[in-house]
Amino acid sequence: MDFPLFPLNTVLFPGCRLDLSIFEARYLDMLSRCLRQGTGFGVVCILEGEEVGEAASRFAALGCEALIRDWQQRPDGVLEIRVEGARRFRVNRAEVRRDQLTVAEVDWLHEVQAAPLAAGHAELATLLQALAEHPLIEALGMGGTPADQQALANQLSYLLPFEAEEKLKLLAMGDPARRLEHIQQLLERLQGEAPA
């Protein structure tokens, strides 16, 4: 049981990027191990607790592996990293070590073969292209023209302002076509709730 977990107030998806500023000793140690060994760590969404300080008391059983793509140490010792989501996993068992780092035993989830975009996905692909123009998303190098259904589903699930509970539901769906269908329903629901 040695896969390190990083509980955050976010849900990471495969192929999506996240910038983090690391200053807590437990995570600096974890990251130096990951960099030395060329391994990743798991991002899990906090359900109860805080990102900083004591280990989160409750987090989602479903998460996404984060691979370090870039890093730099600031003069004040803070480590700036950019990670990219890789494989999805389910947490079997987890424990908090003395240094407050949470480690787990995980099962890797099966990924469905990537399928090309269909005509019915044009509207969602246009939405992703529009999101790519936002400075924060552009800075992450995300958005633009998706390669396939999986990339479109993952990026929209990650970038759109859905509740964490909905994002976790989307992360659990292995089939990208089903995930895109669900995103469409969520968007329609949001439009229905928007004041006229």
Structure tokens at 47: 């359900």
Average pLDDT, the chain: 92
Q: Do residues 121 and 115 lie in contact, with contact meaning Cβ atoms separated by under 8 Å?
A: no
pLDDT score of 144: 85
pLDDT score of 190: 82
| pLDDT score of 196 more than 60 | no
Q: What is the pLDDT of residues 144-160, one digit of tens each?
A: 889 999 999 999 999 99
CA distance 105 to 117: 35
Q: What is the pLDDT of residues 95-151, one digit of tens each?
A: 999 988 999 999 999 988 889 999 999 999 999 999 999 998 999 989 888 999 999
3-state secondary structure of 6: strand
Q: How many CB atoms lie within 10 A of CB 11?
A: 26
Architecture of domain 119-193: Up-down Bundle (1.20)
Q: What is the pLDDT of residues 158-186, one digit of tens each?
A: 999 999 999 999 999 999 999 999 999 99
Q: Do residues 183 and 124 lie in contact, with contact meaning Cβ atoms separated by under 8 Å?
A: yes
The domain limits of the chain are 3-108, 119-193
Of 51, 42, 49, 1, the residue nearest 21 (C-alpha): 51
pLDDT score of 112: 85
pLDDT score of 77: 87
Q: Do domains 3-108 and 119-193 have the same CATH topology?
A: no
pLDDT score of 150: 95
Q: What is the pLDDT of residues 48-83, one digit of tens each?
A: 876 666 666 789 999 999 999 999 999 998 999 999
pLDDT score of 49: 72
pTM of the model: 0.92
**Could you tell me the fold of the domain covering 3-108?**
2.30.130
